[in-house]
Amino acid sequence: MSVQEKGGAARKAAGAKSAAAYFRDPARRPAAVFAAGAGCLLLAWHLAGLPELAPAYLFAWTCLLALPAGALPVVIMIERADAWRPQPETALLETLRGFLVLMPVAALLSLPLLPAAARLYSAAAPPESDGALTALWFSDALLAGRLGLYFALWTGLALLFARRGGEPWAKAGRIDDGRAVLGLGLHTVVGTLAAWDLVMAVGAGAEGRFHASAFGLLVMAAWSSLALAAAILVAPPDIGPARRRHDRLTPLAVLLLVWVGLHAVQFLMLDAAADPQAAAWYRLRSGLPGRALALAGLMVTALAAILTLRPGENRTRLVAALAVAVHLAELAWFVTPAFRDGFGITLTDVLALAGVAGLAAGLTPALRRLVPGLAVTPAWPGRERGGKGAKSGKGAGKDAAPGDMRRKPVVRPPEPS
Partner 1 sequence: MSATGLSPAGEADSLYGAPVIGADETVASIGAALAGVVLTPARREWRLAAAGALALAATCAALRFVLPVPALGAGGAGWWIGLASGCLMICGLLLLAGVEWRCGIGRLAQTAALFGASLATLFPASVHPMSLAALLAASAGLWGAALLPDLALLCDRLAEGGPAGASSRRGRFYRLAACGFRGSAGQWRVWDGACRGLALLGILAAVAVLTDLAVATALRSDRHDTLLPVALLVEAVLSGAGLTAALAVALRRVQGLDGLVTGRHLDILGRLILALGLAALYCHVTECVAAFLYGGAAERTHLARRVLGDGAPAFWMLMLVGLLPSQLFWIGTVRRKATALGLIGALVAIGLGADHGLIARSAVAPADAAFSQALLAAFGPAAAALCAIGVFALGLFLVFRLVPPVSIVETRQLALARNSGAASDAAGSEPKPQGGRLAATFRSEAGLSEAVRSLTVLDRPPRLDAFGPVPMPEAAEALHRVGWRLRWAALGGAGLGAAAYLAVRAAEGVRAFDGAGAAVLSWAVLAVPVLSAATAGGTLGLVVALCYALRREAGAAPSSALAGRFVLTVVPSADGFNPAALLRRLNGLPEGAGRPLAVDGIAAAGPRR
Q: By CB under 8 A, name the binding residues for partner 1.
A: 81, 83-88, 129, 134, 137, 169-171, 174, 176-177, 181, 185, 188-189, 192, 196, 209, 211-217, 261-262, 264-273, 275, 309, 412, 414-415, 417
Nearer to partner 1, 82 or 399 (CB): 82
CB 126 within 8 A of CB 138: yes
CB of 130 to partner 1, least distance (A): 9
> 114 or 189: whose CB is closer to partner 1?
189
Report in angstroms how near the CB of residue 251 gets to partner 1 at its nearest.
Answer: 11
Cβ at position 131, least distance to partner 1 in Å: 10
- For partner 1, give the closer residue by CB, 64 or 249: 249
For residue 77, CA distances in Å to 62, 81, 87, 230 come to 22, 6, 12, 17
Distance, CA of 381 to CA of 333 (rounded, Å)? 37
**Shortest spacing between CB 212 and partner 1, in angstroms:** 4
Closest approach of partner 1 to the CB of residue 282, in Å:
12
The Cα–Cα gap between 248 and 159 comes to 25
User: Which residue in 200, 203, 215, 53 sits closest to 121, CA to CA?
Assistant: 203
List the beta bridge partners of residue 203: 121
Taking the complex as a whole, the smallest distance from the CB of residue 29 to partner 1 amounts, in Å, to 38
User: What SS3 state is found at 121?
Assistant: strand
Nearer to partner 1, 211 or 368 (CB): 211
**Of residues 371, 266, 282, the one with CA closest to residue 334:** 282
Cβ closest to partner 1, residue 118 vs residue 189? 189
CA distance 361 to 38: 11
Name the residue nearer to partner 1 (CB basis): 217 or 352. 217
How many whole angstroms separate alpha carbon 335 and alpha carbon 55?
Answer: 7
Q: How far apart are CA 257 and CA 263, in angstroms?
A: 10
Query: Nearest-CA neighbor of 411 among 174, 165, 89?
Result: 89
Residue 143 DSSP SS3 = helix
Distance CA 168, CA 42 (A): 44
The smaller minimum CB distance to partner 1, of residues 265 and 370, is found at 265
Give the contacts of 27 (CB within 8 A, at least 6 positions apart).
Answer: none
Please give the Cα distance from 93 to 90 (Å, whole number): 5
To partner 1, the closest distance from the beta carbon of 315 in angstroms equals 17
Q: Is the Cβ of residue 9 or residue 273 nearer to partner 1 in the bound state?
A: 273
Q: Which is nearer to partner 1, 5 or 128 (CB)?
A: 128
Supply the minimum distance, in Å, between the C-beta of residue 81 and partner 1. Answer: 8
Q: How far is the CB of 196 from partner 1 (least distance, A)?
A: 8
Q: Which amino acid would we find at residue 101?
A: V
SS3 content of the chain, % helix, strand, coil (to 5): 75, 0, 25
